[in-house]
Amino acid sequence: TGSSLGLLAELAKERVGDETLLYFEDQRWTGTQLIERGARLSGGLRAAGLLPGDRVVVCMANCPEVGITYTAVWRAGAVVTPVLFLLSEPELRHVLTDSGARFVVTTPDFLPKVLGAAIGVPTVAAVVVAGDAPGVSGGTDLAGAGRGAVPPVVDFAELEAVEAAGLVDTSSTEMAALLYTGGTTGRSKGVVLTHDALSSAAWAANVSHEEETPEDGSRLAGLSPLPLSHVYGLAINVMGLHSTRPGTSVLMRWFDPGEFLTLVARHRVRISALVPMMIRMLLDTPVESHDTSSLRRVVSGSAALPRETALEWQRRLPHIALAEGYGCTEAAAIVSSAPRRAIRIGSVGKPVGGVEVRIERRDGTEAVVGEDGEICLRGPSLMSGYWNAPEETAKVLRGGWLHTGDVGKCDEDGYLYVVDRIKDVIIRNGFNVYPRDVEDVLLTHPDVVACGVVGRPDATRGEEIVAFVQLAPGATVTPAELIAFSRERISAVKYPREVLVVDTIPITSVLKTDRKALRAMLDR
């Protein structure tokens, strides 16, 4: 920490120079090429009016231009606000308005949505489009006249043609990213992360990855299918800047299991970070028939890894450590990760360097080993607060500790376990039931491919436990059989009293089980 991300990128350029840093869809880029494109784009954005502290919303699927934009924005002392391209127009509009965005950078496929969201948002000076879009050149107004305050559309390549710009002197304690949370538990809020917060999280993650550096001195190859526009992918991307021997990054536009396996073999990939649903998709293919001998570690994060999935991976791919990690946007994505040689299934590993974990009881005192409580965090990677929401900030940042809203516990060796989200806990007859415990049991049934458990308000019991299940094609198991199956395996307090079969379990834009949508399905 202590250096702005713009400066760190400049230093990385000196270290990696003309070596290949990035592979993307049969193209490759050296460190110098990437950083220089960033410097030119920075010049173009500044000529178009970007000032230090301004927010730049980035709405693109993975491609090199995402990283180039981050570099350009940080060089200018400005702030990146990446969004998932899957956001709906109203959600995007909320981000543009709330952040007071100056520019939006996108690709032709999302241009109509971006323009629709930006109409009438007074702070937006222009929408920048990377790639060929019909009618985009020389700052033409693509959306045409008569629709009110439609921002002008400018070409990314044209901005890059402007002269490269130097670094704006930026303190590492200033805001580098404004990231909007998924909103799975309420209205999407902006999380303010400084240059220091992002680089300390990235540095901590890097320490564990350096263990995987090849013994023969060749560069560590990492495969990235996670969106660079999500804090998890963003932190991993920033990580490359911190390595003493930066690796090569193989970037995927989006995840596809077959392509993932092909790229692992082609680039002799050693590490990758995925989410549980991607791991499930990999296991649903004949993974054993691919050459995955180069892979050492796959990290699973962002949602609970079902026990069944972890066990199946160990059985079928014993040479690849599947290490679960835990994080949240408010702590720059990386809180804990499993040590490769001592993985405990069900645990999310130990806190990464600099992060302190405290398990807190409801009365604010610290829980003992093995006792459930709220996971609280302290350390240099924490957010400064929610954007323009001091009351929301005060609710979660208390006494220097971030209250995550997750229930967890620690064991005697300091391993952390994430039990569930506090807001999802079902209280039936006064007993706390963690949906994840019930889901883990249902997933051991061979006919259940996905499930989600929620509470249905109940006049006598407070809440009743309802399980939504998605069955394997052709499966014939009945709800009554699944209830009986669960009843044999978990306590009477916890087994689901109602099982509802659905075609698919709804998921959020970052591939997490969408329990909010499931609760809404109960009301219908």
Residues in the site for ligand ATP, rule: CB under 6 A? Answer: 181-185, 301-304, 324, 326-329, 348, 404, 406, 418, 421, 510
Q: What share of the chain is helix, strand, coil (3-state, %, to 5)?
A: 35, 25, 40
Q: Choose between 327 and 455: whose C-beta lies nearer to ligand ATP.
A: 327
Exposed e or buried b for every residue in 3-40, given b needs 16+ CB within 10 A? bbbbbbbbebbeebeeeebbbbeeeebbbebbbbbbbb
Q: Choose between 159 and 198: whose C-beta lies nearer to ligand ATP.
A: 198
Angstrom distance (rounded) from CA 296 to CA 287: 15
Minimal distance in Å, beta carbon 234 to ligand ATP?
11
Cβ neighbors of 61 (< 8 A, separation 6 or more) are 85, 107, 109, 227, 253, 254
β partners of residue 354: none
Minimal distance in Å, beta carbon 251 to ligand ATP?
20
Minimal distance in Å, beta carbon 27 to ligand ATP?
30
Q: Choose between 249 and 329: whose C-beta lies nearer to ligand ATP.
A: 329
β partners of residue 386: 191
Q: Choose between 76 and 397: whose C-beta lies nearer to ligand ATP.
A: 397
Angstrom distance (rounded) from CA 216 to CA 227: 30
Q: Choose between 100 and 182: whose C-beta lies nearer to ligand ATP.
A: 182
Minimal distance in Å, beta carbon 340 to ligand ATP?
16
Q: Choose between 267 and 307: whose C-beta lies nearer to ligand ATP.
A: 307
Residue (of 474, 473, 480) closest to 500 by Cα position:
480
Angstrom distance (rounded) from CA 307 to CA 200: 30
Angstrom distance (rounded) from CA 207 to CA 11: 19
Q: Choose between 358 and 461: whose C-beta lies nearer to ligand ATP.
A: 358
Sole residue written with tokens 């998921």: 507
Minimal distance in Å, beta carbon 67 to ligand ATP?
20
Minimal distance in Å, beta carbon 183 to ligand ATP?
4
Residue (of 318, 320, 77, 354) closest to 204 by Cα position:
354
Minimal distance in Å, beta carbon 349 to ligand ATP?
9
Q: Choose between 173 and 188: whose C-beta lies nearer to ligand ATP.
A: 188
Which residue, judged by CB position, is nearest to ligand ATP in the bound state?
182
In this structure, the dihedral spanned by the alpha carbons of residues 27, 29, 35 and 41, taken in order and rounded to 10 degrees, is: -20
Minimal distance in Å, beta carbon 271 to ligand ATP?
17
Minimal distance in Å, beta carbon 57 to ligand ATP?
18
Angstrom distance (rounded) from CA 136 to CA 154: 7
Q: Alpha carbon of 226 to those of 14, 18, 73, 307: distances in Å?
A: 27, 26, 21, 22
Angstrom distance (rounded) from CA 376 to CA 201: 16
Token pair for 2: 């202590």
Q: Choose between 182 and 353: whose C-beta lies nearer to ligand ATP.
A: 182
Q: Choose between 69 and 329: whose C-beta lies nearer to ligand ATP.
A: 329
Q: Is 515 helix (H, G, I), strand (E, B) or coil?
A: helix
φ and ψ at residue 289, rounded to 5 degrees: -85, 0
Minimal distance in Å, beta carbon 186 to ligand ATP?
6
DSSP string, 158-222: HHHTSPP--PPP--TTSEEEEEE---TTSS--EEEEEHHHHHHHHHHHHHHHHTTS-TTSPPPEE
Q: Choose between 112 and 405: whose C-beta lies nearer to ligand ATP.
A: 405
Minimal distance in Å, beta carbon 201 to ligand ATP?
12
